[in-house]
Amino acid sequence: MTFKTLDDMDLDGKIVLTRVDINVPVENGRVTDTTRIDRIVPTIKDIVARGGKPVMLAHFGRPKGQVVPEMSLRQVVPALSEALGSEVAFVERPDRGTLEGTTGPILIENTRFSPMEEANDPQMAQFLASLGDVYCNDAFSAAHRAHASTEGVARLLPACAGRLMQAELEALEAALGTPKPPVAAVVGGAKVSSKLDLLGNLVTKVQHLIIGGGMANTFLAAQGVNVQASLCEHDLLDTARDILAKAEAAGCAILLPRDVVVAAEFKANPPTRTVKTEEVPEGQMILDAGPDSVAHIKTVLDGCATLIWNGPLGAFEMSPFDAATNAAAAHAAVLTKAGTLVSVAGGGDTVAALNQAGAAEAFSYISTAGGAFLEWMEGKELPGVAALSA
């Protein structure tokens, strides 16, 4: 896909409406994690350096079109000012004159305080467009929503991607758009039902699909394996068989666990056994992939040029069921550092698992955009991205 970036825009003397994601955790009026704020800093500083005035549009929480004082973006201003190294002005009710008369970066109140935002009301889009000269979207994590501040206004002003959005789109294009083959995808998580569209799309795009977590049990059961007390969606066995058949027709090899770590209950450090996949003892549940499975995954990754990762291989939240995820992630990190693998990962559980494995920093790109990342992997058009390429 083609889209404009800040490099393509004349920003000198212009008001740049900049959609950002600063929906950060707040306790007692203080930001407790500035990660999302830190990631927009390059875009805001670049706009200022090019002579533009950044006016930030953002949502906070789910006020459902009502003014909810506890969800005011005012409480984010101190952390935002500190990250940018300059005072950020807060404007509750914006108009063009106020913005022109205010110096430095500006943050406008929560866009979701208006019911017109999530409805993508043309009237709100027109109003937002009247406030600025250029539109810059730096909120990939909100790009799967067709809202007034993400899609509507983008079609009314000269529009471009911010640095964070640009990096995200370039990473995803490298992973799924025009990837260097062979491509492997790791898809884990509890349920097949939550990732049907994803699996259906990936089997036509990748050469190796590694399925882990609870969803692997459903595929094993679909092949006749007795998974005993394991988490399994028995009502989706035919669906799993359809995906397996589609993969075979597309030349995509699906990797399921060869051996598994089992326990009688899901708790920290219970008595465990490693058994062959088809030999799960009665009353036991599968909670992680075993060492033989991990060795197989490592061998596959050794022969791949691109890796997409979404979801853990086991119940990584508790030791020792994080072992397979940790080992496979560490191996992917080594290959990435060596320059033989382009690795892109995303999704909430995925980021947590890779951080826990100490592998996240070595990956080529880590997306913190949960829903938008998943919908991109499912092959769906993201309204906020499509508006930039219109």
5-60 tens-digit pLDDT: 999 999 999 999 999 999 999 999 899 999 899 999 999 999 999 999 999 999 99
The answer to whether the CB of 128 falls within 8 A of the CB of 150 is: no
**Prior bond of 181 cis (ω within 30°):** no
Residue 110 has pLDDT above 80, yes or no: yes
What are the residue ranges spanned by the domains of the chain? Answer: 6-166, 179-377
Annotated ligand binding at 111? The verdict is: no
Q: Return the pLDDT at 390.
A: 61
The mean per-residue pLDDT over the stretch 248-269 comes to 96
Instruction: Name the average pLDDT for the chain.
Output: 95
Residue 372 pLDDT level (bands cut at 50, 70, 90): confident
Annotated ligand binding at 30? The verdict is: no
The mean per-residue pLDDT over the stretch 210-228 comes to 97
Non-local CB neighbours of 27 within 8 Å, separated by 6+ positions = none
Annotated ligand binding at 36? The verdict is: yes
The mean per-residue pLDDT over the stretch 79-104 comes to 97
Whether 36 is catalytic is: yes
Whether 163 is catalytic is: no
Percentage above 90 pLDDT, the chain: 87
Catalytic residue among 65, 371, 379, 380: 371
Annotated ligand binding at 62? The verdict is: yes
The mean per-residue pLDDT over the stretch 262-290 comes to 96
Catalytic residue among 348, 370, 379, 380: 348
Catalytic residue among 36, 53, 163, 205: 36
6-166 fold: Rossmann fold (3.40.50)
Annotated ligand binding at 59? The verdict is: yes
Residue of 151 and 2 predicted with greater confidence: 151
Residue 348 pLDDT level (bands cut at 50, 70, 90): confident
Catalytic residue among 4, 74, 191, 273: 191
Residue 156 has pLDDT above 90, yes or no: yes
The mean per-residue pLDDT over the stretch 140-160 comes to 96
Residue 276 has pLDDT above 90, yes or no: yes
179-377 fold: Rossmann fold (3.40.50)
pTM of this prediction?
A: 0.87
Rounded distance, CA 17 to CA 57, Å? 7
Residue 229 pLDDT level (bands cut at 50, 70, 90): very high
The mean per-residue pLDDT over the stretch 366-388 comes to 88
Residue 251 pLDDT level (bands cut at 50, 70, 90): very high
Whether 348 is catalytic is: yes
Annotated ligand binding at 241? The verdict is: no
Rounded distance, CA 256 to CA 213, Å? 10
Annotated ligand binding at 22? The verdict is: yes
The mean per-residue pLDDT over the stretch 257-273 comes to 95
Q: Return the pLDDT at 339.
A: 97
Domains 6-166 and 179-377 in one fold:
yes
Nearest to 371 by CA among 139, 111, 73, 44: 139
The mean per-residue pLDDT over the stretch 139-160 comes to 96
Non-local CB neighbours of 227 within 8 Å, separated by 6+ positions = 217, 220, 221, 280, 286
Whether 96 is catalytic is: no
